[in-house]
Chain A
Amino acid sequence: MMVDSRLAVVARDRKLALVRLELVIEALAAVGGSAGDEIASVWGKSAADLRDRIGDSRLEEWINAAECIVQTGVHHRYPEVHVSRLARALVRIATSSGQQKIDRISIVARAIESLPAADRVFVETIFSEATYNVHAAPWVAGLLCYGDDIDCDLLLSAAHADLERREMRIRALLGLSNNTNGKEIVLDLGYGLRLCKTRYGNRERVEDWSAIDALAAMSDAQVLRLRPDINSEVEADMYLAAICAYRLGDFQICVKALLCCVDCDDDVEEYWHLLAFAHRHLTHRDVFDRIVFGRERNFMKAR
């Protein structure tokens, strides 16, 4: 099974700055060499393909993430999680890349080397553990962990911190264990809101508006407090920004946020349909008609 996993850890200091961390596997493969090939074989993906998708610059981000994982001690608490191949690959990458990060990577690699591999379990464990440590350690403001399987739409999970109230709201891996039919992805948007991604090819479901519908009962002030920064690069944040904007009637902002969402994942009916409705409110009926009736997609990306 191909797994395209991402880890994003919210850490740093009490200012609660978000640290965006990128795809582990892609970061590894980006460095190239035999390690990239090994990772590619593990995840069933070509190294070249992965390498094309991410640059070397993101390796630093991933290392930060890995260090954070080690600090939480997840690998010690859950010895059944095996990531030795990942650890070995880390070392090889550090060695072959010639970057000055060998020590840091090695620490991470050694820490996780003995753990049994089961990628979903691994991610789940990291998530749970990090959640635990978030509550235990106030320097961690939150954690966002999600992933997807390109072919199977594997859900991982997501969580957000309610920064204003400094209260963690972790949605524990919704759908991770029971989403085996590859039909749905669920992203936790925080605040009890969820984005259920509906694929066009899934003919058994219609779009899920539960998140945006939940905003209908809120006051404008409440929605404004929820609305994240429009310039975020996190997909879930952008969707939350989009639905908040739609609820508030800021349709231009909604469109802008949704275009970022479809850049992240362009097979989500919720994104396209909300985009169509936003354009309808902007009296751009031609755009609405092309998306809804023509099922055109690429023309929006060119805008």
Chain B
Amino acid sequence: MGWTGIFQELAEARDSDTQLSQYAAVAAGLRRALDDWVPVDRVASYCALTTRLGLSVEVDCVFESVANGAQITGSDFAPTTRASASLYRKGIATSPDSRLHVVVSSRSEWAADALAAAWYPVAVESRVLRKPLIDHARMGRALGYPSCCVEFFVSHNDWSRQNTLAEAARRSGSFHWEANCLTKFTPWMLSFHMPCAFDCKETIRYAHEVLELVRTWDPKFADQIVAYMRRPCFALSERFACALDGVRPIARNHDAYEAVEDLCRGIPIRTRDDEARVQALNSGDACRIDGGTVYIYNDGMLHAMFDAKADLSIVEVPLLLPFE
């Protein structure tokens, strides 16, 4: 997308166009802080930009991706963060994909507060170091997430046993597009946190506030966000989600669709199975969920099928989420 103005500068400084709306939210004080990963070789220009925006930045550590097959003890505890961490020093020599984990806020004390709890489960000396559970709650609060969602996350964020999307869906009376968190790895998102339900009032309120803020900065971008988020989604976990275009419900847990868009292609951990399953969905025009099995049809004929997994330190639950 052709970004303009401050969004363009942020996208260039970070070499990424994700979280742009969240930078606007932080700058405007709609949320207390955010955390981000900045290419190490762009840190200087990034800090200059954030200073110009009146934002405080706290530096955590350098993330480097871990090669496939590398022996990392405790990797089961890091289903979405497969990285090793090292100490950051200015001028440090790093690999091209090295990124500096930072915390950003409009107030320095908020940034420091968020940084304190912002450790991720990354490998140090080939062993994953996790933080205590209570720091997840502290981090959620420090980032300004709704308290109900923080509490929900702390209770259900256990990837090997629970599926937070399924839990949120189970608690939902309706599925509001404003609470569609599955687009968070794309530019077209309004919140980064996992909502406690897809009709969470606090999440919906926050999404509208951010949307209106973005609209004042870039109306076209705001419209695109709405269109992007306002699509039904198919999801297995926070690591596998697709948006469905042209959806026509056939029955409960059975939708016809015209196209599928992979919403998680940007995350670091993707398996060959993930790619194959996206392809399978794309090769069909309807899918039906029966328990843990997904049936994909083409012209009314069974075309492909796959089972949800629970053996990769993550519990998959097939879900059709009718965001409206």
Chain A residues with CB under 8 Å of chain B are 203-207, 209, 212-213, 215-217, 246-247, 273-274, 277, 280-281, 283, 289, 292-295
Q: B134 at the A/B interface (Cβ < 8 Å)?
A: yes
B112 touches A293 (CB 8 A): no
A206 touches B73 (CB 8 A): yes
- Alpha-carbon distance A273/B131, docked complex (angstroms): 8
- Residues of B near A289 (CB, < 8 A) are 87
Question: Chain B nearest CB: distance from A240 CB in Å?
Answer: 14
- Alpha-carbon distance A26/B59, docked complex (angstroms): 48
Q: Which of A274, A280, A293 contacts B124 (CB 8 A)?
A: A293
A216 touches B137 (CB 8 A): yes
A212 touches B133 (CB 8 A): yes
A293 touches B117 (CB 8 A): no
B127 touches A203 (CB 8 A): yes
A-B contact count (CB 8 A): 57
- Residues of A near B137 (CB, < 8 A) are 216
Q: Which of B115, B124, B134 contacts A247 (CB 8 A)?
A: B134
Q: Which of A203, A204, A213, A273 contacts B133 (CB 8 A)?
A: A213
- Residues of A near B116 (CB, < 8 A) are 280-281, 283
Q: Is the interface of A mostly helix, strand, loop or mixed?
A: helix
A206 in contact with B134 given A283-B116, A292-B124 (CB within 8 Å): no
B86 touches A293 (CB 8 A): yes
Chain B residues with CB under 8 Å of chain A are 61, 73-74, 77, 85-87, 112, 115-117, 119, 124-135, 137, 154-155
A209 touches B128 (CB 8 A): no
- Residues of A near B135 (CB, < 8 A) are 277
A206 in contact with B132 given A280-B116, A280-B119, A281-B116 (CB within 8 Å): no
- Residues of B near A247 (CB, < 8 A) are 134
- Residues of B near A203 (CB, < 8 A) are 73, 126-127
- Residues of A near B115 (CB, < 8 A) are 280
A206 in contact with B87 given A283-B116, A293-B124 (CB within 8 Å): no
Question: Chain A nearest CB: distance from B116 CB in Å?
Answer: 5
- Residues of B near A274 (CB, < 8 A) are 132
- Alpha-carbon distance A294/B137, docked complex (angstroms): 27
- Residues of B near A293 (CB, < 8 A) are 61, 85-87, 124
B125 touches A295 (CB 8 A): yes
B125 touches A206 (CB 8 A): no
- Alpha-carbon distance A203/B134, docked complex (angstroms): 25
A206 in contact with B124 given A281-B116, A283-B112 (CB within 8 Å): no
B125 touches A209 (CB 8 A): no
A212 in contact with B73 given A280-B119, A283-B116, A289-B87 (CB within 8 Å): no
- Alpha-carbon distance A267/B134, docked complex (angstroms): 24
A206 touches B129 (CB 8 A): yes
A216 in contact with B154 given A273-B129, A274-B132, A295-B125 (CB within 8 Å): yes
